[in-house]
Structure 1
């Protein structure tokens, strides 16, 4: 849909959500963690960090980071050791997908370490995290090095690496167990998850990717959408009968001026009788 400058603030429903792009604000994805007591800090460059109360999980929102991974989430079985797992989202990732992940992370954190630190080791168990993709009709292919899932429109894919990976390289962001790629060629975003990421969190990433619910974007965002995305204007809600009655009552109150206290009603003076009209020449009554 072409961009119309006069409708820059008009709301649109965009589908599929993996083509909607980022909203360029981290607040929606940070909120689930702040709601369960995580602490927010920031550095002098504008990067934001959310830390779990026990310091075992840390999220970074890094607009001034040293690469294009806008979001980095790490978990630690020992706060002084190398992270146990790492999840990243590139800067063009739709914010709603990150928000679904942090919502799942907040729930897992409340359940305890077994949910957010462990149960990410088994390869067969990891394959179960791809079940939402298969259930949504994504095709899959078993290769020598990975298992790949592809969306019906061919514009999103998920890869599960089958080969042995180096943990240090994974924590440095050089390798990944799970890789999500979405968007047309030349306009893709990515997300990654390392080997020990709990299956429930990987499944949350995949479920967020395939969620059919549209996301809200504004008129000025349409310039950044790929042509394969669908943008439908959001219609104003139809007023209910109660809304109509309330509006009518409000209008009546606003158009009838109240009388001052003690004021007497105005009674117009009687008109004097009008003189009889004399017919004009040439005009018959």
Structure 2
């Protein structure tokens, strides 16, 4: 019997237990929160003992099932184990270690790990229930209706153009497209990346903030898990420095009721100083202070009163 995996919640506990700084913020919608420069959250849901993990000297991290039929990889650097990796996160399913993938999923750099975690949690549930270890699971092209049901419930707009289906978020910053394999002349034309999500920092941006792709044979319930996380309105916490600069308009303080940081004292005016002197009662005479100065001059010794001469 394989050894139980170390508690995958350990890294999350360590991260959650760190001291919160004044720079911690909430980001809503969560798909604009950025990657957080850490892949831990995507691996936390993998609790079943059937998973095995490893890392390399480049900082890449891999989790596989015992027979390597399922592999989840975090590859921030060039990887000898996955030399053809196309994105930061890679998920692959195959019949055995040396067979080509039957389906794949990929998520680019700024994908929030919480969204990847929704897919890995669904994979862990499949492994726990034994659903993944059969041929239909690895070669199935489910009907995508369950994905659209999730997004319709979240008030996304669904449009259909022939076989091309697109769901767009209410703020027009997120889009999920589906282009199934096509048939021409009785021959099926495969479309490897049937599902594609594009997230924009501003509407109609020409460059995507991040993207995700799913092969046409990816079980639809995994794509539905991704869509559920994508449409989740709950904000995500981040350190401000981790949030892409173009998304800073979507930030708000982590603790809205916390006292504001003290501001620098305003430069006192002569009237301010006069009121302060009056409040203290009779005192030695001081000369006036220019408005642009924040310091008072040393008090002058009181002189006998004299009758002022005519003003010039």
TM-score in same-fold range (> 0.5)? yes
1:56 to 55, 69, 79: 69
Q: 1:52 to 1:74 in 2, by over 3 A?
A: same
**2:169 paired with 1:157:** no
1:218 to 227, 232, 239: 239
Deviations 1:221-275 (A, max 9, x none): 35635255242332479xxxxxxxxxxxxxxxxxxxxxxxxxxxxxxxxxxxxxx
Deviations 1:76-99 (A, max 9, x none): 123332111101111110111011
- Return the offset for 1:19: 0.9
Q: What's the counterpart of residue 255 of structure 1?
A: none
Q: 1:227 to 1:216 in 2, by over 3 A?
A: closer
For the 8 Å contact 2:177–2:195, the answer to whether it is kept is yes
**2:145 paired with 1:127:** yes
- Return the offset for 1:67: 6.0
- Return the offset for 1:112: 1.6
**Partner Cα distance (1:15, 1:135) in 2:** 18
Q: 1:68 to 1:54 in 2, by over 3 A?
A: closer
Q: 1:219 to 1:122 in 2, by over 3 A?
A: closer
- Return the offset for 1:117: 6.4
- Return the offset for 1:114: 4.6
- Return the offset for 1:31: 1.9
Unpaired runs of 5+ in structure 2?
1-19, 79-83, 183-187, 259-312
Q: What's the counterpart of residue 39 of structure 2?
A: 26
1:234 to 225, 238, 255: 255
Unpaired runs of 5+ in structure 1?
1-6, 171-175, 238-285
Q: What's the counterpart of residue 85 of structure 1?
A: 103
Higher share in helix: 1
Deviations 1:10-47 (A, max 9, x none): 32111000111111111111122255441111233221
Q: 1:26 to 1:136 in 2, by over 3 A?
A: same
TM-score, normalised by the number of residues in structure 1: 0.70
For the 8 Å contact 1:20–1:215, the answer to whether it is kept is yes
Greater RCO structure (CA 8 Å; 6+ sep): 1
**Partner Cα distance (1:214, 1:224) in 2:** 17
RMSD: 2.6
**Partner Cα distance (1:105, 1:83) in 2:** 16
1:58-73 equivalent positions in 2, closer than 5 A: 58-65=71-78, 69-73=87-91
**Partner Cα distance (1:91, 1:206) in 2:** 18
Partner SS for 2:118: helix
**Partner Cα distance (1:23, 1:215) in 2:** 11
**2:199 paired with 1:182:** yes
Q: 1:73 to 1:91 in 2, by over 3 A?
A: same
Q: What's the counterpart of residue 262 of structure 2?
A: none
- Return the offset for 1:48: 1.3
Q: 1:46 to 1:221 in 2, by over 3 A?
A: closer
Deviations 1:119-168 (A, max 9, x none): 57346x2232221111110001111351000000110000010343755x
